[in-house]
């Protein structure tokens, strides 16, 4: 029969027409049954100049954050679940219902991030990137008095940009994207770890081909109770991998955006969907 005219279930909006409008990048149902959405920044780094093409006059209370919405509500209200997240391109939950999100950084050379997302926390944007104590730009705004900022997951290497000191969390401009948690369907060595894509850089010169890969992250809590990770490059080079999906027992699908495997490629054909699967015993 005729399904009729679709009716919007939830709508919201905010002003802005800049080149940095990131909008909603990822949506997923959480283990609590709520719907989560990552809504990116509408600026590069929170600047509030009059140049609206580039900076759109700053952020709003519902940008650069993660939303939570009750899917059972007929008139759903938007809850800002966590703030200070420039562009949460992907997020997922581990087997303890803890949420983790990748985050794309600004045009300046700040590290890209992996964040342990907890309700009510602020993850720095636009006031702080990674563990930097300096401002990303001279006009980067100061944080409000008393605001507590949460650091990203520390990368202890050996890959993903690690160079001997903890990195919070990846090479600048590497473009972390989709992320999945591997559960009991996967063998020892993979079980209980995360996989994440890195789209590859646009900003740096062609010699700086960071990203274009899939990383594996093994996380653990340190003595301070915060998460740190050992990061290993699992697959490289890939054609601008943009997302990951779990489907079927012991299977991961990698979604490529194109076949460009380095930043010097100006044109490339459409990407592929690749399957990784556990070998049957």
Q: Which residues of 114-136 are buried (b: 16+ CB within 10 A; e: fewer)?
A: bbbbeeebbbbbbbbbbbeeebb
Tell me the pLDDT tens digit for each residue of 56-99: 567 889 999 999 999 999 889 999 999 999 999 999 999 999 99
Burial of 29-56, coded b for 16+ CB within 10 Å and e otherwise, reads: eeeeebbbbbbbbbbbbbbeeeeeeebb
Kindly report the pTM of this predicted structure: 0.93
pLDDT the model gives residue 17: 63
pLDDT band at 265 (very low <50, low <70, confident <90, very high): confident
What would the pLDDT profile of 185-208 be if each residue is shown by its tens digit? 999 999 999 999 999 998 766 567
Neighbouring CB atoms inside 10 A of 15's CB total 9
Judge whether residue 234 has pLDDT over 80.
yes
pLDDT tens digits for range 14-34? 766 667 778 888 999 999 999
- CA distance linking residue 56 with residue 78, whole number of Å: 22
Answer whether residue 216 shows pLDDT above 80.
yes
For 210, the token pair is 């960071």
pLDDT of amino acid 50: 59
- Say if strands 227-235 and 154-158 run parallel, antiparallel, or are unpaired: parallel
Closest CA to 81 of 91, 66, 96, 95: 66
Residue 229: partners with Cβ closer than 8 Å, 6 or more residues away: 114, 153, 154, 155, 156, 169, 217, 218, 219, 220
Q: What is the pLDDT of residues 116-134, one digit of tens each?
A: 999 999 999 999 999 999 8
Model pLDDT, residue 54:
57
């Amino acid at each position: 029969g005729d399904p009729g005219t679709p009716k919007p279930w939830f709508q919201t909006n905010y002003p802005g027409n800049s080149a940095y409008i990131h909008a909603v990048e990822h949506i997923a149902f959480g283990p609590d049954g709520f719907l989560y959405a990552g809504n990116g920044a509408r600026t590069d780094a929170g600047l509030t100049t009059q140049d609206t093409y580039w900076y759109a006059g700053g952020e709003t209370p519902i940008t650069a954050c993660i939303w939570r919405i009750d899917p059972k509500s007929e008139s759903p209200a938007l809850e800002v679940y966590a703030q200070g997240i420039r562009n949460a391109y992907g997020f997922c939950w581990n087997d303890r219902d803890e949420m983790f999100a990748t985050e794309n950084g600004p045009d300046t050379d700040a590290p890209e991030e992996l964040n342990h997302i907890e309700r009510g926390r602020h993850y720095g944007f636009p006031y702080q990137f990674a563990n930097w104590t300096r401002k990303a730009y001279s006009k980067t705004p100061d944080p409000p008095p008393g605001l507590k900022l949460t650091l990203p997951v520390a990368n202890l290497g050996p890959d993903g940009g690690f160079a001997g000191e903890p990195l919070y969390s990846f090479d600048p401009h590497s473009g972390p994207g989709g992320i999945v948690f591997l559960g009991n369907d996967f063998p020892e060595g993979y079980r209980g770890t995360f996989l994440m894509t890195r789209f590859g850089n646009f900003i740096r010169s062609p010699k700086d081909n960071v990203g274009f890969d899939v990383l594996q992250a093994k996380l653990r809590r340190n003595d301070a109770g915060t998460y740190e990770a050992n990061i290993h490059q699992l697959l490289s080079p890939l054609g601008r991998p943009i997302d990951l999906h779990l489907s079927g027992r012991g299977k991961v699908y990698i979604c490529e955006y194109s076949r460009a495997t380095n930043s010097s490629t100006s044109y490339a054909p459409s990407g592929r969907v690749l399957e990784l699967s556990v070998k049957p015993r």
